[in-house]
Chain A
Amino acid sequence: MADTHNGRIEIEGVTKRFLTPSGEIFTAIKDVSFTVEPGQFCAVVGPTGCGKSTTLGMVSGLDKPSEGTVKVGGKVVDGITDGVSFMFQADALLPWKTVLANVALGPIFRGVGKAEAQTRARDWLRRVGLAGFEDRYPHQLSGGMRKRVAMAAALINEPKILMMDEPFGALDVQTKAIMSNELLGLWEQSRPAVLFITHDLDEAVALADKVVVMTSSPGTVKAVYDIDLPRPRGSVQDIRFEPRFLELQHQIWDTLREEVERAYARTSGAPTKEGKAA
């Protein structure tokens, strides 16, 4: 691949403001800068309302920054970014399409023929362990299975960037661990750059190469940590007991705690201007 076509994400001095319905200006994120290298797994952690999702929206091209630039592969993002896939906390599956048709949508949207798209979709469903479920509808599957379908649907276009907005946030702890392991396994095969949003610090440290800690209201980058745990990581349940994991986790938690407490005080205490807007 040419150098311009890689998945390097450069976020430079990005500020995003919204006009609230009451006419006030709300700054979601302010002067955010960080870089994700091609093939790097980057987790963004921060308290609720710190503009994590806003950041993702701008990298994907769904949204535009008010100030600053977002570059993907050296090109400024303008319109939907090429080679990006998204995974949300809520299901983004089409409930009226079968599992197979849902996964085949990616290639079909890119102009691949129906038969070819279905062959690829079948292959991906097999890879996420859902062979035999092609003809089910999403509502007939469990939460974890729906996540696997979403994962297959996100990876089938072989994205150079995978963006995940608290993808496993709604799952129970056991299912979450299983899905994290599967995600790592699939990621190791194709190695897209990953921008992974979560408020679960353990999850962030276990999965990522790099953890970006954000403050809230307005969201800014507070610190960036490199996670030097060796890869392949193995099971995310086991890595939690390794000394280096605990060391990193404590270190980052010290930074994060202050922010979380501040955000908590704001949302649970007397409503302020910012609290209302968020």
Chain B
Amino acid sequence: MSTASTSATGAPVDAVARAAQSDAAKAAKRAVQRRKASVWAGRIGFAVLFLGGWELAARTNTIDPFFYGQPSGIWKSLQNLFTNGTEFGSIYANIWVTMQEALIGFAIGAVAGVIVGVALGQSRYLADVLGPYIKIVNAIPRIVLGSIFIVAFGLGTLPKILLAAVLVFFVVFFNAFQGVREVDRNILANAKVLGASRLQVTRHVIVPSALTWIIASLHSAFGFAIVGALVGEVLGSQQGLGLIIKQAQNQFDPNTVFAAMFLIAALVLMAEWVIGKFEHWLLSWRPAAPSEASNAI
């Protein structure tokens, strides 16, 4: 009797449960979308408030636009840079020069940093011998090296590349070094017992293991590469965004300085995006971080 009644009502009950479930899923989706929309509204609101407040304060002379610029002026400067170019050729040529310096310096510094970091991380003796010197070199404000490079190598791109490479090197080096020291002892012992040679241990165990650390450092390292290139250009050059900034400074033109600043920020964000993609590809074996695994509702 009771079985008959459940089987008779089974189908509709099932359908009701399914409908309820799909309703819950729809509601959950809506909640996620609402949250996304509110985050974007907040972001846009913040930008409007910040830029609007700046513009308003400049127009009412609460802050002096002669020193601090104003968003509308920055926008005009940007337009001017792109339409009329600069004294040192088109804006694209200048961007290209700066990017070239930063990218080449970044590549040299990163590769050297990884190689030296991995080598020193594996040799206790070398690490002990060179440890204090590395600390000293790290304590030196390396940006000052820019002056020396410019005196030694002239106003071309080489001194900027070198400065960017030096700045990048130390960031990457320290991370690679630390990454190598953090390699799991069991994994290392296991590879050795399985018959791995030193080179195989480095290639299959140590480098991939340190990669998480190295990649994390690349994000901040690219920022340093740009800083190196820009400072080099400010110190002395014939072309580049740093030179545009210096020129604008000499002409008391804060709007162009800000315009160049925003351009650089955009370039760094683009580079960050590329590095992020690269990171994602290299570290695809990793489990999803808890923050991106699922949305709590």
Closest to A101 in B: B204
A157 within 8 A of B: yes
| The stretch of B53-61, B107-115, B187-195 that contacts the partner chain | B187-195
| The stretch of A78-86, A173-181, A229-237, A244-252 that contacts the partner chain | A78-86
Structural contact, B285 and A157, CB atoms closer than 8 A: no
Given A90-B186, A96-B285, A106 contacting B192 (CB threshold 8 A): no
Partner of A105, one of B189, B194, B197, B287: B194
Q: Which secondary structure dominates where chain B touches chain A? A: helix
Structural contact, B189 and A96, CB atoms closer than 8 A: no
Using C-beta atoms within 8 Å of the partner chain, give the interface range for chain B. 20 to 34
CB contacts under 8 Å to B, within A27-81, are: 57, 60-62, 80-81
A107 to B189, CA, bound (A): 16
A106 to B192, CA, bound (A): 10
Closest to A63 in B: B189
Partner of A85, one of B193, B197, B283: B193
A139 to B287, CA, bound (A): 7
Closest approach, in angstroms, between the C-beta of B78 and any C-beta of chain A?
44
A109 within 8 A of B: yes
How many residues on A have C-beta within 8 angstroms of the other chain's C-beta atoms?
29
Digit string of A93-124 for contact with B (CB within 8 Å is 1, else 0)?
11111100000011011100000000000000
A96 to B205, CA, bound (A): 9
B79 within 8 A of A: no
A110 to B197, CA, bound (A): 9
Structural contact, B195 and A92, CB atoms closer than 8 A: no
Closest approach, in angstroms, between the C-beta of B278 and any C-beta of chain A?
15
Residues of A within 8 A of B184 (CB): 90, 92
B90 within 8 A of A: no
A88 within 8 A of B: yes
Structural contact, A105 and B204, CB atoms closer than 8 A: yes
Residues of B within 8 A of A57 (CB): 189
Closest to B192 in A: A80
Structural contact, A94 and B205, CB atoms closer than 8 A: yes
Given A88-B186, A92-B186, A96-B208, A109 contacting B285 (CB threshold 8 A): no
CB contacts under 8 Å to B, within A257-271, are: none
A40 to B208, CA, bound (A): 37
Structural contact, A94 and B187, CB atoms closer than 8 A: yes
Given A94-B204, A106-B195, A109-B197, A86 contacting B190 (CB threshold 8 A): yes
Structural contact, A97 and B194, CB atoms closer than 8 A: no
B200 within 8 A of A: yes
Closest to A92 in B: B190
CB contacts under 8 Å to A, within B55-99, are: none
Residues of B within 8 A of A96 (CB): 208-209, 211, 283, 285-286
Structural contact, A84 and B187, CB atoms closer than 8 A: no
Report which residue of B184, B195, B204, B205 has the largest number of chain A beta carbons within 10 angstroms of its beta carbon: B195
Digit string of B268-295 for contact with A (CB within 8 Å is 1, else 0)?
0000000000000001011100000000
A-B contact pairs, 29 of them (CB 8 A): A57-B189, A62-B193, A80-B192, A86-B189, A88-B189, A88-B190, A92-B186, A92-B187, A92-B189, A92-B190, A93-B187, A94-B187, A94-B208, A95-B285, A95-B286, A96-B208, A96-B283, A96-B285, A97-B285, A105-B191, A105-B204, A106-B194, A108-B200, A109-B197, A137-B285, A137-B287, A153-B194, A157-B194, A157-B195
